[in-house]
Structure 1
Amino acid sequence: MSRIDIVYGGKPYTLGDRTLESLRTEITDAVTSGVPAWLRVNSGAGRYQDAYLLISPSTAIAIVDVQPNGPDVALSEEQTFVADSTE
């Protein structure tokens, strides 16, 4: 089973049985429509509880594709994250 981790408001949530692409599309559609939308996710450890995250153009949200055996493909240089240097 696939799992996607979500960080919203500094707190972790999870979502199962979805593809990363379908979630990205849903979030992108909500943001570009300009109409806030609710995203149902799982909250809690052990026993999941439904949580609803409000998605709007100003929402800060991170999604992580959790893969138990590591990524299926190597990322190209353009796809990797490079942190800003403070030097």
Structure 2
Amino acid sequence: MNRVDIVYGGAQYSLAGRSIESIQTEISVAITAGTPYWLRVNSGGGRFEDAYLLIAPGIPFAVLNVKPEDGQDIDLDVDGVFGKDLL
């Protein structure tokens, strides 16, 4: 199963069973509409917990493809930044 991670406000969220392209399209349509949009994601690590991310112009976020099409896993925590308090 595909999993796409989203980094938003310094926290990591995920979406399962979606392609990165479908999420990019959903976000592009929302931004183009010019109205705030709430993207439903998973915030739980191991169990599903709904979280809703506000998608609007000026709010930064990143979409990460966890399992590329070649099937090889990638390390999202290359520099050890996930899970650390940066303040």
Q: TM-score w.r.t. structure 1 length? A: 0.75
Unaligned runs of at least 5 residues, structure 2 = 75-87
Report Cα offsets for 1:3-28 as digits up to 9, x if no partner: 00000000000001111111001111
Moved over 6 A (4+): none
CA distance in structure 2 between the partners assigned to 1:58 and 1:33 by the alignment: 14
Task: Give the fraction of aligned pairs with identical amino acids, expressed as a percent.
Answer: 54
In structure 1, the residue matched to 2:25 is 25
Deviation, structure 1 residue 59: 1.6
Counterpart of 1:60 in structure 2: which amino acid? P
Q: TM-score w.r.t. structure 2 length? A: 0.75
Unaligned runs of at least 5 residues, structure 1 = 72-87
User: 1:69 pairs with 69, 72, 77, which one?
Assistant: 72
How many residues end up aligned between the 2 structures? 71
Deviation, structure 1 residue 44: 1.7
**In the alignment, is residue 34 of structure 1 matched against residue 34 of structure 2?**
yes
Report Cα offsets for 1:28-81 as digits up to 9, x if no partner: 11112111111000002111200000100112110001115148xxxxxxxxxx
User: Which has the larger Rg?
Assistant: 1
In structure 2, the residue matched to 1:3 is 3
CA distance in structure 1 between the partners assigned to 2:26 and 2:66 by the alignment: 18
